[in-house]
Amino acid sequence: MNAGDAKDEFFGEAQELIDALARDLLALETSARGGGEDPELINDIFRSVHTLKGLSGLFGLSRLGTLTHELENRLDDMRMGRVSVTSSVLDVLFRAVELLGRMLASARRGEADDDSELPSLLASLKSGAGAGAEKVDDELAPFDLDPDIVRVLTEHEEHRLRTNVRNGTPLYRLRARFPIDRIDKALDELKQLAKPLGEIIAYLPTGDLPADGTLFELDILYASASPLEQLRNRLEGQDVTIHRIARKNAGSHTSLPAAPEVPQSPALPPPPRAPTDRDSIPLALDKPFGDPPTNERTALRESKHAGGIKTPVPPKPEDEASRAVAAGRMAHTVRVDIRRLDHLMNVLGELAIVRGSLARLTERLRQHATFRDLTSELHRLHRAFDRNLAEMQSGILEVRMVPLGQVFERLARAVRQIARQNEKEIRLVVTGAETEVDKLIVEELSDPLLHIVRNSIDHGIEPQGNRAALGKPIEGTIALNAFQAGNHVIIEIEDDGAGVDHDRVLATALKRGLLTEEQAREISPRDAINYLFLPGFSTRDAVTDLSGRGVGLDVVKTNIARLGGVVDVQSERGIGTKFTITLPITLAILRALLLGVAGRTYALPLSSVAEATVLDLRAVRTVEGREVMSLRGETLPLCRLERLFSHERPAKGSHRSYVVVVALGGRRVGIVVDELFGQQDIVIKALGPSLSSVRGFAGATDLGEQRVGLVLDAAALLDEVLSAGERRGLEAFSVGR
């Protein structure tokens, strides 16, 4: 691995960490609103920041390091309960994460980052220090806890213990035994069972292993408000003994927060093995015991019986076991540069070509009677090859797929921020975050989605006062829905804002000469709104109700089109606006229809093909010099590909032609071609930069035998043929209205 690779990997990992941070912060905010703070979440956040700090140090990004360092300090305070999770604290954290993201982005581009915000943010982070809950030294006293145990707890574990005590959550000691060879799995299993009912505060190895060394024994300090019976049922089948940690005479400790008195169950299940006298029990059970106080901070001042059983103190009391589990889990995932997958996909494409040649060879052999046996053997081999190849292909495709949730999380962050800037209350409702799309598509989706969402908040959703006057809920709603439909993924972004003013859109389009008065009178509102996607509608004075900051919806459309998708918008005045983005699931490989025009071969992605039929010349009419045909009662604009591409053809014969109906996002065009060669899986490859200005092609693909075919860009062709503002190539197509 060279330095560049390492750096790339760093940026990838750092970005993932920042994404995870933002996601966890959002979750923390939600849980804090609900009244509780999730200690696991704070831990996760702390860990992410810690890792990020380490990485920044490694790659010499000192400013990133400074920020993560301060952030880590504050999160540590939160972990330890020195600072409570308030909305102002969260705001600072959100700001810090945003800034981390920006700093990382500029580091990635090799630019100096904009540091104007850093000092103030560092100050805010620092000022949050120390403003926390004060400690009640005595609160652990009424519990029969071995002070040695309390002493070995980490500060965080102790904080969690105290918090639970303060909340009056009953404490338990779970003594669990695991076979040493599967401790990772067994412990994980136990964790999964125990977590829903309570909180695991600490793992404490008892250091009391059976002589044969096959078992590992662990005490788990556990807090749970669930009835003992339920705990017991839940953990049934595990090698676990549950002990309630008793409260000693509560009478003398009236200063404690009143804990709900959970009646102590006298019927503890018998331990799976009879405890012998030599058993060291680290946490007090029914019989109270304890050592004299040795640690000022954690001292338990009352101990009725001195000389309790000593607990061997493990040298490293942090939950090593769970860390081992985490390490075990990490080993199962691999971070892979997507270009390597692209490379595999290319190799696969070549293999598919080999497969084709093999099939042809088999066919030729079949002609010779003498090779019959060999032929059938070859045929069988070819079939097996075919099957495995298909499996491999879908396997690689699967690896590339990631849930849309990744990009939705980033959006959720942005919504929060933009809503605040605009002083609007926005509720973001997400469905279908688990819908999977090719990683490359997800990467490219961020910007277009962000743009649409920003538009919705800036200009779609009305100010609170207006909403109240209209009888709408003050809180605006933006719904993000994703779902799969065949080979496509559909993403809808819907708001309940003011909608788009069609008349105004048309007026602007007229003013800019994008259509004639006559056309404007006849155009449907649905079509009118599509003018929003034309360049020139992005400036603020054009349509104040729906405008951005220099980047227009035309950019959104271009970006989506580059991914082979289309974007459509529907809007109703006063009700809201809905953007619908239709995307292919993957860019890596697709099924295409191969067509022949004037001796050339083109590939058309099958996902955009509705049907293909023989061109019936009797059904073709000419309207204003443009060809249309009626297909089952509907008028279909026709486009002759050879004219669109100005192909010279060697004297057109009287052979028949075909119509391929291309349909995307509710629009249709019939493409007239000479030949249909059938379907083929193709690996689509980008054209070089010198061809980037050529419109109408999504890329090229190997057709085998050194031949290359161009892949038609269905969305671009539709646009070109149907677009009313398009003057170029008019004679080649028709508008069927």
Can you give the binding site for another protein, defined by CB under 8 A? 346, 349-350, 600, 644-647, 685-691, 694-697, 699-700, 702, 706-710
Report the residue number, 373 or 648, with the smaller CB distance to another protein: 648
Choose between 646 and 654: whose C-beta lies nearer to another protein: 646
Q: How far is the CB of 399 from another protein (least distance, A)?
A: 20
Q: In the β-sheet with 634-640, what is the strand arrangement from edge to edge?
A: 609-614, 658-664, 667-673, 634-640, 626-631, 620-623
**For 143, which DSSP code?**
B
DSSP string, 598-614: TTEEEEEEGGGEEEEEE
Which pair of structure tokens corresponds to residue 474?
């003050």
- The DSSP bridge pattern shows strands 620-623 and 626-631 to be antiparallel
Q: What is the closest distance, in whole angstroms, from the C-beta atom of residue 689 to another protein in the complex?
A: 5
- Least separation in angstroms between residue 732's CB and another protein is 12
Question: Minimum distance from CB of 684 to another protein (Å)?
Answer: 10
C-alpha dihedral over 439, 441, 444, 446, to 10 degrees?
Answer: -80
137, two tokens: 């030294």
Least distance CB 642 / another protein (angstroms): 9
The 10 Å CB-count burial string (b at 16+, else e) for 227-257 is ebeebbebbeebbbbbbbbbbbeeeeeeebe
Report the residue number, 324 or 708, with the smaller CB distance to another protein. 708
As measured in angstroms, the least distance from the Cβ of 564 to another protein is 17
Token pair, residue 413, equals 């962050």
Using the minimum distance from each CB to another protein, give the nearer residue, 480 or 698: 698
Which residue, 269 or 356, is less far from another protein as judged by CB? Answer: 356
DSSP per residue over 175-189, as a string? EEEEEGGGHHHHHHH
What does the alpha-carbon distance between residue 311 and residue 282 come to, in Å, rounded to a whole number? Answer: 5
CB of 592 to another protein, least distance (A): 15
**Among residues 407 and 587, whose Cβ is nearest to another protein?**
587
φ, ψ for residue 620, nearest 5 deg? -90, 130
Nearer to another protein by Cβ, of 8 and 702: the residue is 702
Q: How far apart are CA 243 and CA 271, in angstroms?
A: 10
Q: How far is the CB of 604 from another protein (least distance, A)?
A: 14
- Write phi, then psi, for 516 (nearest 5 degrees): -90, 165
Q: Is 417 or 558 the residue whose CB approaches another protein more closely?
A: 558
To another protein, the closest distance from the beta carbon of 709 in angstroms equals: 7
- Give Cα 146 to chain centroid, integer Å: 45
Length of the chain: 737
- Judged by beta carbon, residue 254 or residue 706, the one nearer another protein is 706
User: Which is nearer to another protein, 11 or 697 (by Cβ)?
Assistant: 697
Q: Kindly state the smallest distance separating residue 188's Cβ from another protein, in Å.
A: 44
Q: Tell the smallest beta-carbon distance from residue 699 to another protein (Å).
A: 7
- Contact (CB, 8 A) for 409 and 22: yes
Q: How far is the CB of 354 from another protein (least distance, A)?
A: 13
Which is closer to another protein, CB of 543 or CB of 710? 710
The strand pair at 589-597 and 675-683 is best described as: antiparallel
Pairs from 547-554 (Cβ < 8 Å, separation ≥ 24): 547/455, 547/459, 548/451, 548/454, 548/455, 548/458, 551/451, 553/451, 553/452, 553/455
Assess contact for 382 and 362: CB atoms under 8 A: yes
Nearest residue (CB) to another protein, 95 versus 685: 685
> Least separation, in Å, of the C-beta of 700 and another protein?
5
- Tokens at 316, concatenated: 């490293």
Backbone φ, ψ for residue 638 (5° rounding)? -110, 150
| Between 100 and 710, CB nearer to another protein | 710
Nearest distance from residue 703's CB to another protein, in Å? 9
Given the structure tokens 């959006």, which residue do they identify? Answer: 411
CB of 663 to another protein, least distance (A): 23
For 381-436, the DSSP string reads HHHHHHHHHHHHHHHHHHHHEEETHHHHHHHHHHHHHHHHHTT--EEEEEE-TT-E
- Which CB atom, from 221 or from 588, has the smaller least distance to another protein? 588
CA nearest to 612, candidates 588, 583, 592, 582: 592
Determine if residue 280 is left, alpha or beta; phi over 0 gives left, psi from -120 to 50 gives alpha, anything else beta: beta
Eight-state DSSP code of residue 457? I
Rank residues 55 and 639 by Cβ distance to another protein and give the closer one.
639
Query: In sequence order, what are the beta bridge partners of 580?
Result: 492, 568
Q: Which is nearer to another protein, 288 or 564 (CB)?
A: 564
Q: What is the separation of C-alpha 212 from the centre of its chain, rounded to a whole number of angstroms?
A: 47
At 272, which helix (H) or strand (E)? Answer: none
Of 7, 105, 15, 55, nearest to 406 by C-alpha is 15
Give the shortest CB-603-to-another protein separation in angstroms: 11
